[in-house]
Chain A
């Protein structure tokens, strides 16, 4: 649409709208740093009342500083980077943020509690399909011949996400009932089994979610912002701004939505680990018998951690489904849906929420980067063996698996390591 004023790449009024949209995710990165710095000064305050009062003010000013930094960084990015590269980075950030949610969920289970869940793909799939079934419309007319599904409630996006969290949590509870009493290795094997069964069910049961065929038409939240004319409910000035966006700019909008969810999950889990609840989980992880001896109901706490982690994973699945708009069982394999997320958490540092997010971005970068690399390596690989270039995509399996082994051998605490925690209470 020729409405940009200067017509330069990435510049113009459309660039301003994009920069504003980008500012929020970037502020999400910057604000915690400011807040942390500022909060470090509270220890010098004298009375407890002054400290509580000071905390609130410092968090507010840290958030404002973060927003300002985010806005200026976004402006710089939009101004400096060619439009194509910026668009690529934005869709990269959306995917990595969705994995960050899954990794945050795993951190509650493994990082805090020491539950060896290797069936993430199961909760990921349950969340994705639940949200899809709840928010899509039932196929009608000739379409119903090709597309079958159990539900089509046509509920709004947010209800889909809520349902995804609820159903994933319920599934986790049902799995936890028989398996949490078992020793760690058996719990691990049981979770692989659940994930495989979930995938087999979605693959084979056509009535449930179109079986082996993709389930299409999953609504994309706030998609109307990038359509022409934009959403009817927008106030006129915002509608004018939205008119500058095109459908291919949708990832900018979705990045804001995903960031809100990641930020909420991050803040909630950070708060949880600093609470007495988090202290019990860490005690269970370190020495289960000692926690049980001090009167804690170990099984109940493990169940809570399993369910909370699974609910976060379910939300991750829902966001994944609404971004792709079309999903099928093949997205939820043990490699892509489980193993990749394990490597993300282990790389970032298990027990560390910022590590979980950092790991998701780094490993997603390696995962997508190896695709470029194998393209480049084509001629070299062909020289080794003629069949090798066609198989080069499997090099990324090798790279990811090697990364995990190297982390375990040389940096078991991950990039960031676990912080020494002092409960806030």
Chain B
């Protein structure tokens, strides 16, 4: 391969990495938010993404199909489906919380028990996807041409990918405004900083938890739909992205939702660039290695956030003394 085309290949990979990073960032923002407010690692976040992506898929079948909005591959009905699936997935997150996490929270279970419950929820949600839609790969739009734009330096990207990045930025800005400007956002930040203090100063912590799930679930749905738009739908799509989302959330400083935007893009680019040197099958492994190196080098993430330190755990109430 001549020198110039090699460079432009790396540039192309970088720009695809930015798009993939947008998807990772959307998931990581939700993950970071749930971790910050409710203080446990939600292993079911990837599968919530999958639920959101399949919810969009089912709505596309109901909604009247319009013309594709040039230059994108999707029509107006996709935007409508996305707008409906986001709150719906938020409600799924909230329902899961009511059924499985809230009773554990009430019992003051240690965070690891909530994490274990979320592992169960991850498999529960995925089994529902398998039962509802089957194991086959699916596409939002089959057989539609997806032309790519030629940019300088030989970079080729599809308009859909630009849309993904634009939507990511929009949603992260909206999340920022929610957290900084609204009462509920302030309550969320207060809970993330000091849950005990938040409780005694009269914040309804359960209401804050419910809002956290609504926002986190809606962001997960958007991330899932974007991933499916760019590639395809499959029941394990979200689970495969979990490590990358964790890496992004840690890079951005866990519990700092907007740091996740940067973290997501960095992980996405790293993952794409790695395919130039590695078997692409190891993509998820790159996110993981990045996570480990990062934790060793800068455990508090690049932008501060909750430090990753040796854990202080409450005495375990889950075993009988």
Chain A residues in the interface with B (C-beta under 8 A): 114, 116, 118, 178-179, 181-186, 188-190, 192-194, 196-197, 200, 203-204, 285-289, 298, 334-335, 339, 342, 346, 350-351, 387-388, 390-391, 394-395, 397-398, 400-402, 404-405, 408-409, 412-413, 417-418, 420
CA distance A186 to B315 in the complex (A): 20
Determine if B116 is an interface residue (Cβ-Cβ < 8 Å). Answer: yes
Q: Are A391 and B134 in contact (CB under 8 A)?
A: yes
Q: Are B127 and A288 in contact (CB under 8 A)?
A: no
Q: Are B284 and A196 in contact (CB under 8 A)?
A: yes
Q: Are A178 and B134 in contact (CB under 8 A)?
A: no
Closest 4 CB pairs of A and B: A193-B288, A397-B127, A185-B41, A394-B130
Apart from A192-B43, A197-B285, A289-B312, what are 9 other A-B pairs with CB-CB below 8 Å? A186-B308, A189-B246, A193-B292, A196-B284, A200-B285, A342-B116, A342-B119, A395-B131, A417-B319
Which residues of chain A are near B308, meaning CB under 8 Å? 182-183, 186
CA distance A170 to B41 in the complex (A): 28
Q: Are B112 and A185 in contact (CB under 8 A)?
A: yes
Which of B43, B124, B135, B315 makes the CB contact (< 8 A) with A398?
B124
Which residues of chain A are near B313, meaning CB under 8 Å? 114, 184, 287-288
Q: Are A287 and B315 in contact (CB under 8 A)?
A: yes
Min distance, Cβ B150 to any Cβ of chain A, angstroms = 33
Q: Are A398 and B127 in contact (CB under 8 A)?
A: yes
Residue of A nearest to B293 (CB): A178
Min distance, Cβ B73 to any Cβ of chain A, angstroms = 27
CB neighbors of A among B16-32 (8 A): none
Which residues of chain B are near A179, meaning CB under 8 Å? 292, 295
Q: Are B319 and A413 in contact (CB under 8 A)?
A: yes
Interchain residue pairs with CB less than 8 A apart (18): A114-B316, A181-B310, A183-B310, A188-B43, A189-B242, A189-B291, A196-B285, A197-B288, A287-B313, A339-B123, A342-B116, A342-B119, A394-B135, A398-B131, A405-B120, A412-B113, A413-B318, A418-B319
Residue of B nearest to A420 (CB): B321
Which residues of chain A are near B95, meaning CB under 8 Å? none
Main secondary structure of the interface of A (DSSP, over half): helix
Which residues of chain B are near A351, meaning CB under 8 Å? 319
Which residues of chain B are near A189, meaning CB under 8 Å? 41, 242-243, 246, 291
Q: Are A405 and B117 in contact (CB under 8 A)?
A: yes
Which residues of chain A are near B41, meaning CB under 8 Å? 185, 188-189
Q: Are A401 and B127 in contact (CB under 8 A)?
A: yes
Quick one: CB contact mask for B295-313 with A, threshold 8 Å, 1 for yes? 1100100000000111111
Which residues of chain B are near A339, meaning CB under 8 Å? 119, 123
Number of interface residues of B (CB under 8 A): 55
Which of B123, B131, B321 makes the CB contact (< 8 A) with A335?
B123
Which of A286, A398, A408 makes the CB contact (< 8 A) with B104?
A408
Which residues of chain B are near A181, meaning CB under 8 Å? 310
CA distance A116 to B115 in the complex (A): 9
Q: A188-B41, A395-B127 known; A409 and B311 CB under 8 Å?
A: no
Q: Are B104 and A409 in contact (CB under 8 A)?
A: yes
Which residues of chain B are near A409, meaning CB under 8 Å? 100, 103-104
Determine if B128 is an interface residue (Cβ-Cβ < 8 Å). Answer: yes
Which of A186, A335, A400 makes the CB contact (< 8 A) with B295?
A186
Q: Are B311 and A288 in contact (CB under 8 A)?
A: yes
Q: Are B312 and A417 in contact (CB under 8 A)?
A: no
Determine if B40 is an interface residue (Cβ-Cβ < 8 Å). Answer: yes
CA distance A334 to B291 in the complex (A): 20
Which residues of chain A are near B279, meaning CB under 8 Å? 204
Q: A183-B309, A185-B41, A193-B285 known; A405 and B121 CB under 8 Å?
A: yes
Determine if B139 is an interface residue (Cβ-Cβ < 8 Å). Answer: no
Min distance, Cβ A344 to any Cβ of chain B, angstroms = 13
Q: Are B120 and A413 in contact (CB under 8 A)?
A: no
Residue of B nearest to A394 (CB): B130
CA distance A114 to B111 in the complex (A): 12
CA distance A217 to B112 in the complex (A): 41
Which of B116, B126, B291, B318 makes the CB contact (< 8 A) with A190?
B291
Q: Are B104 and A402 in contact (CB under 8 A)?
A: no
Q: A182-B308, A286-B315, A334-B239 known; A390 and B104 CB under 8 Å?
A: no
Which of B99, B123, B135, B242 makes the CB contact (< 8 A) with A400?
B123
Which of A114, A192, A342, A420 makes the CB contact (< 8 A) with B243?
A192
Min distance, Cβ A111 to any Cβ of chain B, angstroms = 8
Min distance, Cβ B264 to any Cβ of chain A, angstroms = 16
Which residues of chain A are near B119, meaning CB under 8 Å? 118, 339, 342, 404
Determine if B183 is an interface residue (Cβ-Cβ < 8 Å). Answer: no
Q: Are A402 and B117 in contact (CB under 8 A)?
A: no
CA distance A404 to B318 in the complex (A): 14
CA distance A183 to B40 in the complex (A): 11
Q: A183-B310, A397-B126 known; A188 and B117 CB under 8 Å?
A: no
CA distance A334 to B120 in the complex (A): 12
Residue of A nearest to B35 (CB): A185
CA distance A117 to B321 in the complex (A): 23
CB neighbors of A among B68-101 (8 A): 99-100
Determine if B281 is an interface residue (Cβ-Cβ < 8 Å). Answer: yes
Q: Are B292 and A190 in contact (CB under 8 A)?
A: yes
Which residues of chain A are near B121, meaning CB under 8 Å? 401, 405
